[in-house]
Amino acid sequence: MIRSLLYATDLGLCSSYVFQHALNLARIHQARLYVVHVVEPLGLLASTLLQQYLDGESLDRLRNGGLDLVLETIEQQVFESLREDLQETPATVGLVRAVRVVQGDPPVVILKQAQEFAADLLVIGSRSQGDAQVAPLGRTASRLLQTARIPVYLVPLRQG
């Protein structure tokens, strides 16, 4: 029985399409729907550039308060994007229980969030960018399929 779903979004061009699948599943099963977006940590180049151009105090301020502000801003954008999709399907408005934006390694964070929300099903897109002919399955989707302990509903995304 599916009582709780976790939809992991990359905020890509097809995220609305994948979200509609998550909404329909939640509606059909009368399940709670949780949404998570993972922001990957700054890479080595970005960190080096920040260290080069910011003094220690500014860098600490950015790390401590700036990151929280960035995550909150992204979370608000995710919520607004979902609200637009929800307005198109008013019967599903009460299904979304929480939206979280978390920093970390996407598959690790997604699985942790699924555990915290006691998700019975994970809904993801098959890929976010690149050539679908060369690599039809994205890195995050591939890792989730290999490591998830709950069923994964994979929405195939095609180019065009």
Domains of the chain by residue range: 4-155
In this prediction, residues 73-85 reach a mean pLDDT of 73
Residue that is written with structure tokens 């978390």 in the block: 102
In this prediction, residues 91-95 reach a mean pLDDT of 70
Q: Which fold has domain 4-155?
A: Rossmann fold (3.40.50)
Q: In what order do the strands lie in the sheet with 121-125?
A: 96-103, 32-39, 4-9, 121-125, 152-155
pLDDT, greater one: 11 or 69: 11
CA quadruple 21, 153, 34, 79: dihedral sign: negative
Instruction: Quote the pTM value.
Output: 0.79
Which pLDDT band, with edges at 50, 70 and 90, does 151 fall under? Answer: very high
40: Cβ contacts below 8 Å, ≥ 6 apart: 103, 104, 105, 106
pLDDT-above-90 percentage for the chain: 44
pLDDT tens digits for 96-149? 888 998 989 999 999 999 999 999 999 999 976 655 555 678 999 999 999 999
Contact (CB, 8 A) for 122 and 11: no
Using DSSP, state whether 97 is helix, strand or coil. strand
